Amino acid sequence: MSSLHDQALTQLDVGELKPSHRGKVREMFDLGDRFLMVATDRISAFDVILPNGIPGKGKVLTAISEAWFAALEGYVPHHLISSDPADFPEQFAPYRSQLEGRTLLVHKAKRFPVECVVRGYISGSGWKDYKRTGAVCGIDLPSGLVESQQLPEPIFTPATKADEGHDENISFDVMVDVIGQDYAKHLRDLSISIYQNAASLCAERGYILADTKFEFGLIGDEIVLIDEALTPDSSRYWQKEIYEPGRAQDSFDKQPVRDFLETLSWDKQPPGPRLPDDVVTATIDRYKTVMDHLTDEARPLAFKENAWT
């Protein structure tokens, strides 16, 4: 009997070709001055990759990234070259059917070792830090904020990328120590301005972009946006309609998975439990809904100067 699980691409089968890096969701193939970045259908919860994937999730994430990169054209340089398999190196041609729709050919950059997080709302690790200290990444916030509340203005809360486990929030001063003042200021201002623009475009489509994480790198002297852009895996998308400050919000995409996991006594250590078909279906429906709102060809996303008012 076939089930939804069989259709999810959780493991690439590309013969002798070996990825140079395997993330929880994506695999990177090193092509010298470029990378081929393949988004699988794997899904993680509490940093554990679950045994079955979400069919089509990698394609959804890729389409969303592509739509945002297109919107950013002319606003900030980015790494995307092409998503057309015809442009991929010849050795990948036999695997076209696996790669199509979930693969981006990108320029390789020298990555800044900092995750550029912008928060317009207080949630997640930001909320935890605020409750404990009244500040996030050294930025003092007004007292009396409730969970998920909108901040007076978006804040830049960088993090270091941990090889193992969770990323660690750092202060802007530490970021300056790591990459230097000029780059740190530039990445901060750029991140906030992309967030503001993206958040106002999301709002027009019924979503609150609560926060997001960018990565940047250098190609020669040029600062470029790399990695994925504004996907539900790197950002919190909340539905405006059901937003209610004072509590944790439903994660738009992963909530069915979290709700299911809550019903188990799983200790959040690998191996994770298998997701039942109805949870898989509910999750893919959510990912597709976000994608449909963001990739509507009749209403392409387009950045404006000074979008945040």
Ligand X SMILES: Nc1ncnc2c1ncn2[C@@H]1O[C@H](COP(=O)(O)OP(=O)(O)OP(=O)(O)O)[C@@H](O)[C@H]1O
Chain residues in the site for ligand X (CB under 6 A): 21, 23-26, 28, 35, 79, 106-109, 111, 215, 217, 226-227
Which tokens hold the place of 86? 């015809």
**Cβ–Cβ < 8 Å for 117, 159:** yes
Bridge partner residues of 22 (DSSP): 27
Complex with ligand X: residue 145 or 184, whichever CB lies closer = 184
**Cβ–Cβ < 8 Å for 138, 172:** yes
Which tokens hold the place of 116? 């550029």
> Minimum Å distance from CB 152 to ligand X?
30
> Minimum Å distance from CB 26 to ligand X?
3
User: Which three-class secondary structure state does DSSP give residue 155?
Assistant: strand
> Minimum Å distance from CB 43 to ligand X?
11
Q: Which residue is nearest to ligand X (CB)?
A: 23
Give the C-alpha separation, 63 to 231, whole Å: 9
Complex with ligand X: residue 57 or 148, whichever CB lies closer = 57
Q: What is residue 78's DSSP assignment?
A: B
What value does the CA radius of gyration of the chain take, rounded to a whole number of Å?
Answer: 19
∠228-173-160 over CA atoms, to 5°?
35
Complex with ligand X: residue 31 or 139, whichever CB lies closer = 31
Complex with ligand X: residue 130 or 254, whichever CB lies closer = 254
Give the C-alpha separation, 14 to 62, whole Å: 19
> Minimum Å distance from CB 283 to ligand X?
17
Q: In the chain, what is the greatest distance between 2 CA atoms, to the nearest angstrom?
A: 59
Complex with ligand X: residue 40 or 52, whichever CB lies closer = 40
> Minimum Å distance from CB 24 to ligand X?
3
Complex with ligand X: residue 108 or 128, whichever CB lies closer = 108
> Minimum Å distance from CB 296 to ligand X?
26
